[in-house]
Each structure stands twice: as structure tokens, then as C-alpha cells.
Amino acid sequence: MSAADWQDGRARCAWLGTWAGAADPLYRDYHDQEWGIPCRDERHLFEMLCLEGAQAGLAWITILKKREGYRHAFHGFDIARIAAMTEADIEALMQDARIVRNRAKITATIGNARAWLALREREGDVVAWLWRFVGDQPRVNHWSGMSEIPARTPESDALSKALLKAGFKFVGSTICYAFMQATGMVNDHTTTCFCHPDQARPG
């Protein structure tokens, strides 16, 4: 499937035609309505950081299909409620087929909620702290093809280092860059894609 082989005829990023699950409308909707759109909602940012970590070693479509399961399992990504989860909760989640039943990733989500709260205590505004890594403005790139898009950048390296220092897990630089792309801190839609700022988004 090429970038333009969708029924609506719109040109989209070529990764929709090459990544696992590309033909799934769920993937298309994620690309069209979320990926690369700037987000400053704390709960959503935390959700995406957790989901990107959960995706490590897996196809993103796997996580997208389990997203509602994650939201149910982790209290709608209410950070304080996740931070209060116990070992008994972890054992229950290890039996929950709606999520990826990986103990390290489950415990990382809970630990990351606690680290987020501690970071909020120190910084006051975690959202503003995260956005400082891109100078508080979305980085809009102008890639013509997938081969030009990096897997990590100096900004994602810096974010990863800071998050690891703050006690977060599953926040390597590649994961951090995927998080930055997903939340619109970086816009990596290719220049021919209708979602790129140089193209007109639908009303």
C-alpha cells in the first residue's frame, strides 16, 4: 500500500504503507488525528510516554489495539491513582490480556507515575518542563521521505538522560523521540503528507 492508496485519495506518510498494521483504519486515524499534533495535556502526555515504553520491541499497531485496555487497566492514566497501585495490582495486571503482560513494563508504568509526581513536586509544571526540550515550540521538519527521519536526536538524547535521572524507566532516546513525534513536540509528517503544516489540514 502506498501513501496515497486510501479510499479518500489523500497523500499520507509512507510509513502507513510499510509498517505492520498499516491497512488498519485505527492506524490511519492515529496518523491523521494525533501523530504530530502538539499536546500540552498532562494526562495525555503521560499516557503516550507509557504507551511508547510499552511498545518497545513490538509493533505500534499492537499497542494501538490494546490502548483502551491500557486505559481501563491504568485508571484512564490518572497519574496519582497509578502511583498508588500495589503489588497485588501488578499481579492482577499480569493476568489481563487487554494489555502487554510484561512485568517490567507494568512496573515501569507505576514507577513512572511516581517519578512524574516527584518531578511535578520539583518542577511545578511537568508539561512545561517537557516542552523546554524543544524550546517550547513544535519542531516542524521538512523530510521528503522516511529514510530522512531520524530515530533519535540531540533533543531526545537530552530528554532521555533527564528522565532517567528523574527515575523513569523505558525512556531510552529512541522511545523519547517516538514520544516527541507522537505528541507533536516534533512534527515529522513528510512534506507531501496532507497533515504536514505546509499542506492544508481538513477543516
- pLDDT of 170 reads 97
At which residue does the C-alpha cell 522516511 appear? Answer: 146
**Is 23 part of any domain?**
no
Q: Based on the number of CB atoms within 10 Å of its own CB, is 8 exposed (0-12), middle (13-18) or buried (19 or more)?
A: exposed
Number of domains within the chain = 1
User: 108 lies in which domain range?
Assistant: 38-187
**Is 195 part of any domain?**
no
Integer Cα distance of 25 and 31 in angstroms = 10
- Return the amino acid letter for 100: V
Mean pLDDT is lowest, of 20-24, 89-93, 184-188, for: 20-24
**Is 90 part of any domain?**
yes
SS3 state of residue 187: strand
**Is 106 part of any domain?**
yes
**Is 192 part of any domain?**
no
- pLDDT of 123 reads 95
- pLDDT of 3 reads 47
Q: Determine contact, residues 160/166, Cβ cutoff 8 Å.
A: no
**Is 42 part of any domain?**
yes
Q: Determine contact, residues 72/98, Cβ cutoff 8 Å.
A: yes
Integer Cα distance of 106 and 95 in angstroms = 12
Q: What is the mean pLDDT of residues 170-190?
A: 97
Stated pTM of the model: 0.92
**Is 18 part of any domain?**
no
**Where in the sequence numbering do the catalytic residues fall?**
30, 52, 60
Q: What is the CATH number of the domain that holds 109?
A: 1.10.340.30
CA contacts within 13 A on the Cβ side of 51: 27
- List, in sequence order, every residue forming a beta bridge with 139; answer none if it has no partner: 186
Q: Based on the number of CB atoms within 10 Å of its own CB, is 88 exposed (0-12), middle (13-18) or buried (19 or more)?
A: exposed
127-161 pLDDT, tens digit each = 999 999 999 999 999 999 889 999 999 999 999 99
**Is 88 part of any domain?**
yes
